[in-house]
Amino acid sequence: MITGATSGIGKACAQQFAAGGYDLILTGRREERLLALKQELEQAGDIQIHTLCFDVRDREAVHAALEGLPAAWKKIAVLINNAGLAAGLASVSEGDIDDWEVMIDTNLKGLLYVSRQVLPWMQAGKKGHVFNIGSTAGKGVYPNGNVYCATKHAVDALSKAMRIDLLPYGIKVTAIHPGAVETEFSLVRFKGDAQKAEAVYKGFVPLEGKDVAEIVFFCAGLPPHVCINDLVVTSTAQADAHYFHKLI
């Protein structure tokens, strides 16, 4: 099951796991994209795709969508908590409080709502693998990134905590912390301003969604006794949350 499969890292994970023969539950708010991806992936391989259209911020909708899954689909082997976003880039004194709410509700509470629903099913089967997509912004901070960075620090903390809680059930928890990946992320952050979004990836070769997806797939394929707990991956031009070597 992949949250936020309509774009970027989540979509690339869907393509990667589909190519690896996994049946998939794909979620997001943009139904037409989910259906197009389902058609593309089912045509390409002998797999089944179940799509669920909901907003991860909507606690009732998360519950209803997942409870409504047919029993066979509730045997989730891998959960990729990927849905997330940044909204705005401004100092704490100037930030838009609505943007803060959206980031906290999506990146933190949404991840919790989905996990709260799926984890008991994994626990019942005494196996499973949870991937939380954090960020280099969860390991360090950068100017005006304040609340986004705080949500990703929280994802980092939750991943550590989930790992401990799930240890008795043999469930793996892998936190993946990518640096800059060229997706719709910056377009969303800058509210559709394509020029601002493109500028983020100028002067260096950023990661692509596929780069992250390949790593997630590799981690998911490790033997049952091996777990990569925490993984930071950046473009070769990025050293940490803040420091880039850009040729511009």
Tell me if 118 sits within 8 A of 1, measured CB to CB: yes
Which of ligand NDP, ligand 8X3, none does residue 88 bind (CB under 5 to 8 Å by kind)?
none
Contact flag: residue 10 with ligand NDP (CB under 6 A) = yes
| Gap between the Cα atoms of 242 and 238, Å rounded | 8
CB 67, min distance to ligand 8X3, A: 31
Tell me if 169 sits within 8 A of 123, measured CB to CB: yes
CB 55, min distance to ligand 8X3, A: 20
CB 115, min distance to ligand 8X3, A: 19
Considering the candidates 113, 148, 201, 243, report the single residue annotated as catalytic. 148
Give me the half-sphere count of Cα atoms (radius 13 Å) on the Cβ side of residue 26: 34
Listed residue (69, 61, 84) closest to 6, CA to CA: 84
User: Considering beta carbons, is residue 29 or 160 the nearer one to ligand NDP?
Assistant: 29
Contact flag: residue 137 with ligand 8X3 (CB under 6 A) = yes
Task: Out of 26, 133, 154, 213, name the contact with ligand NDP by CB under 6 A.
Answer: 133
Give the nearest residue (CB) to ligand 8X3.
Answer: 135
Stretch that binds ligand NDP, among 25-33, 40-48, 159-167, 239-247 (CB under 6 A): 25-33
Contact flag: residue 181 with ligand NDP (CB under 6 A) = yes
**Residue 16 neighbours by CB distance under 10 Å:** 21
Which of ligand 8X3, ligand NDP, none does residue 211 bind (CB under 5 to 8 Å by kind)?
none
Active site residue 148: yes
| Gap between the Cα atoms of 177 and 69, Å rounded | 30
Please report where in the chains the tokens 């780069």 appear, as a residue.
Answer: 211
Which of ligand NDP, ligand 8X3, none does residue 8 bind (CB under 5 to 8 Å by kind)?
ligand NDP
Task: Out of 9, 65, 122, 215, name the contact with ligand NDP by CB under 6 A.
Answer: 9
183 Rama sector, left if φ>0, alpha if ψ -120 to 50, beta otherwise: beta
User: Considering beta carbons, is residue 88 or 145 the nearer one to ligand 8X3?
Assistant: 145
| Gap between the Cα atoms of 51 and 65, Å rounded | 10
User: Considering beta carbons, is residue 10 or 145 the nearer one to ligand NDP?
Assistant: 10
Sequence-distant (6+) residues with CB within 8 A of 19 are 44, 45
C-alpha distances (whole Å) from 206 to each of 5, 211, 240 are 20, 10, 13
Contact flag: residue 122 with ligand 8X3 (CB under 6 A) = no
Q: Which residues are catalytic?
A: 148
Q: Which residues bind ligand 8X3 (CB under 6 A)?
A: 135-137, 145, 180, 185
